[in-house]
Amino acid sequence: MTITKKDVANHLWEVGGWTHPQAEQFVDAFFEHMRAAIITESELKLSGFGRFTVRAKSSRPGRNPKTGQPYEIKARRVVTFSASALLRAKSNQIFPYSRRLRHKTPQ
């Protein structure tokens, strides 16, 4: 399931009693603040949700899948997400048998 910023703003409008412009402005400001925190601090922790961290990946050898030609993949920084223990526990309560259901054969 994909949730867009517009979906979040609509939820604030419906449930929170915000106006559409207020809700959209809040959502935009929230995500901009998250972006800035991740870029400047290299880590953002949302209590009860998880942690976003910036990780440096070194350069490594690669291969063009089309031509088979070797080349160097440049060093870069990537953002990773790690779910909090609370989020993992709640997701396991909701989907306790998800691993078994994926491998279940249809009847």
pLDDT tens, residue by residue, 52-87: 999 999 999 999 999 999 999 999 999 999 999 999
What is the percent of the chain where pLDDT is above 90? Answer: 67
* pLDDT value, residue 46: 92
Provide the 10 A C-beta neighbour count for residue 27: 20
Q: Which two tokens stand for residue 21?
A: 């412009």
Instruction: State how far the Cα of 39 lies from the Cα of 18, in Å rounded to an integer.
Output: 30
Half-sphere exposure of 66 (CA within 13 A, CB side): 0
Indicate the domain borders of the chain: 1-41, 48-60+71-107
* Annotation: CATH topology of 1-41: HU Protein; Chain A (4.10.520)
Averaged over 5-22, what is the pLDDT? 91
**Cα gap 78→36, rounded to integer Å:** 15
Extract the tokens encoding 4.
Answer: 């867009």
- 95 pLDDT band (50/70/90 cuts)? low
